Structure 1
């Protein structure tokens, strides 16, 4: 993960894409098409770096998000072949991205109910590090299969990383009991129709 690959947005401009627009970025990425590279970075959110290390290295700001193209990592079965299961471990401290197994559908527009992709919500889980447990959230965007044609690399997803310390749960005293009674975690859902940028659109200003 290259720490020099920081956001190249103009000073004072915030990147506020809608869900369908994020899928357009992902579509350009996996099909090898040109796109504005100043806002969505290349990084490994399923690698050896912890979420807070990624946040610091790429200049994360409280209340904002960081966006990454990252590759899914599939587990291997007993015969050594790749399986359909995705390995969502992160870092070297036994942490994992825990959350949804199925994503919420994203439609082309508010009136066009064609499904163009999905968004899954995850939260960082690691009871061995209570100062970070439940503090980091990730929304993972993937394209609908019908939108993938002769791709360069179909394992890419687009991830939105954010920090929400105020939503962190209080850990129970008996950590062993929690390990055996772990419940499904839900994160704030992404919304369609967010403000993109003040008086600007991605299409117009970044020539997508």
Structure 2
């Protein structure tokens, strides 16, 4: 699909669009496919392998995945891969469509190694899920849509060296 887009156009949906257009359709019809978002088991892939699995994207990649439960009867999510684990940072952000809560956004950072001694990487994931009262939401098997990207270390250090001054 990206090859068919004119130069300068990118797939860059808003948080609300990811939930209301893509995730809602995936949850209501598991056979729903998107040219821009592919199904991937994120626990079986290292973040640096994900760009090759994506159907499009240069700096950020999008995936549908089922949340993997840590224990068969529990609700805790397994976020470990062979090389490391995704760790939640901060609290979840509510995503609204107008005044209606449609979903939640969780931010995770990938750490190489095993908790609690993992080494923080620059890989970041934004995981979007439907809000709890959604009619299609199941309790055990839950689809999410994720945006994966590498946080720019240069931009971070650049912003610290040159604070923005409003004149």
TM-score, normalised via structure 1 length = 0.61
1:139 touches 1:159 (CA, 8 Å); kept in 2? yes
Bigger RCO of structures 1 and 2 (CA < 8 A, at least 6 apart): 1
Distance verdict in 2 for CA 1:57–1:27, change over 3 Å:
closer
Matching residue of 1:138: 125
Retained in 2: the 8 A contact 1:115–1:144? yes
Distance (Å, rounded) in 1 between the aligned partners of 2:62 and 2:90: 21
Deviation at 1:68, TM superposition (A): 0.4
- State the Cα RMSD in Å: 2.8
**CA distance, structure 2, for counterparts of residue 75 and residue 161 of structure 1:** 21
- Cα deviation for residue 146 of structure 1 reads 1.8
Q: CA 1:36/1:43 → structure 2, altered by over 3 Å: closer, same or farther?
A: closer
Distance 1:145 1:39 in 2: 26
1:84 to 72, 75, 78: 75
The runs of 4+ residues in structure 1 deviating greater than 4 Å are: 33-36
Provide, for residues 149-179 of structure 1, a one-character-per-residue CA deviation record: whole Å limited to 9, x for no partner: 376x941100000012417x9xxxxxxxxxx
TM-score, normalised by the number of residues in structure 2: 0.75
Structure 1 SS opposite 2:29 = coil
Aligned position for 1:74: 69
2:26 pairs, out of 5, 29, 34, with 29
In 2: Cα distance, 1:53 partner to 1:166 partner? 20
**What count of residue pairs does the alignment treat as equivalent?**
146
Q: Which has the higher strand share?
A: 2
Within 2, Cα distance between the matches of 1:43 and 1:89? 15
Unaligned runs of 5+ in 2: 157-167
Q: CA deviation at 1:33?
A: 7.4
| Alignment CA distance shift 1:55-1:133 (3 Å) | farther
Gaps of 5+ in 1: 1-7, 170-208
